[in-house]
Amino acid sequence: MKLTSKFIAAAALVAAANLAAAVPVATVNGVVIDKDTLDKVVAQVLRENNGRLQDTPALREELRQTLITRELVQQAATKGGLDKSPEFIRAMEESRKDLLQQAFFATAVKNHPVTDTQIKAEYDRYASQFSGTKEVQVHQIVLADEAAANKVIAELKKGGKFDVLVKQSIDPNSRNRGGDMGWGNLATMEPPLAAALQAIPKGQISTKPLKSSMGWHVFRIDDIRDAKPAPLDAIKQRIAHDLQNKVIQQAVGELRQKANIQ
């Protein structure tokens, strides 16, 4: 008798726990939307916004209404037979393929997790590229032809204002930023660009323009400094992401090697 009472009490606790785990936050035409579903949506939104949002009652209510709307639309679409249409079936199959691909990628990364040792090794390789190299702070004006570029160089040598002449730049990005290219490592640039910039002393402009696919470039070197790598903490996540992509690429490469592709 005592055993039976304990069993009943335990069953009641389990039932209560299950009920608590499925606390309804809304009921739409008899379909329950539970708190667990809302919690997951809230967590996803917070994660995607990188701390710009907080878990507040107002946010939860907004997302609760979104879930209600989604359920209403799903019910109406199902009632109208839209889930049986060829277009929907094709879209579902494509979604299934995408989800399977994502699951394969996630499994590959899970089976070959990126370690801190690998990240450090990759960072050391990256950092070694900066040893003994220089960075330059550059402004540029991009012209349509060599004659126009040489004319700008001549005007700058006569005392023309760079801030005024840069308005002639045919590159909208540099024109809108006053020609500011920021800092660049000479060791990681394309050789023709690195050579052109390296030949310009600090505070000086190009003696001749450099031709590229964009046009003819006139440069001004504002500053020069020893190059330094970014701190490990600042790029650790990016390195980990790159290494994970390599794991995925390797897994896909192995599949292609084993496959019969015609």
Share of the chain above pLDDT 90, in %: 83
Mean pLDDT of 150-175: 94
**What is the C-alpha separation between 149 and 74, in angstroms, rounded?**
61
Are 59 and 21 contacting, i.e. CB atoms less than 8 angstroms apart? Answer: no
- For the chain, the structural domain boundaries read 13-106, 133-226
Please, which residues bridge with residue 216 across strands? 143, 211
Neighbour tally for 67: CB within 10 Å: 17
Residue 19 has pLDDT above 90, yes or no: no
Instruction: State the alpha helices, DSSP H only, in the chain.
Output: 2-21, 35-48, 57-79, 86-111, 116-128, 146-157, 162-165, 172-176, 191-198, 232-258
Q: What was the pLDDT predicted at 131? A: 87
State the Cα–Cα distance between residues 219 and 200, nearest whole angstrom. Answer: 8
The whole-angstrom separation of Cα 92 and Cα 82 is 12
14-23, 125-134, 253-262: the lowest-pLDDT one: 14-23
Beta-carbon contacts of 174 under 8 Å, excluding residues fewer than 6 positions away, are: 140, 141, 142, 166, 180, 181
User: What integer pLDDT is reported at residue 167 of this predicted model?
Assistant: 94
pLDDT tens figures, 106-133: 999 999 999 999 999 999 999 998 888 9
What is the Cα–Cα distance from 231 to 251, expressed in whole angstroms? Answer: 30
pTM: 0.61
- Average pLDDT (26-52) is 92
Fold of 133-226: Chitinase A; domain 3 (3.10.50)
Q: How confident is the model at residue 11 (pLDDT cuts 50, 70, 90)?
A: very low
For residue 134, the surrounding DSSP H or E stretch is strand 134-143
Handedness of CA 224, 225, 227, 231 (dihedral sign): negative
- Cα–Cα dist 201/221, whole Å: 7
Is 88:62 a contact under the CB 8 Å cutoff?
no
If one compares 206 and 4, the residue with the highest pLDDT of the two is 206
SS3 217: strand
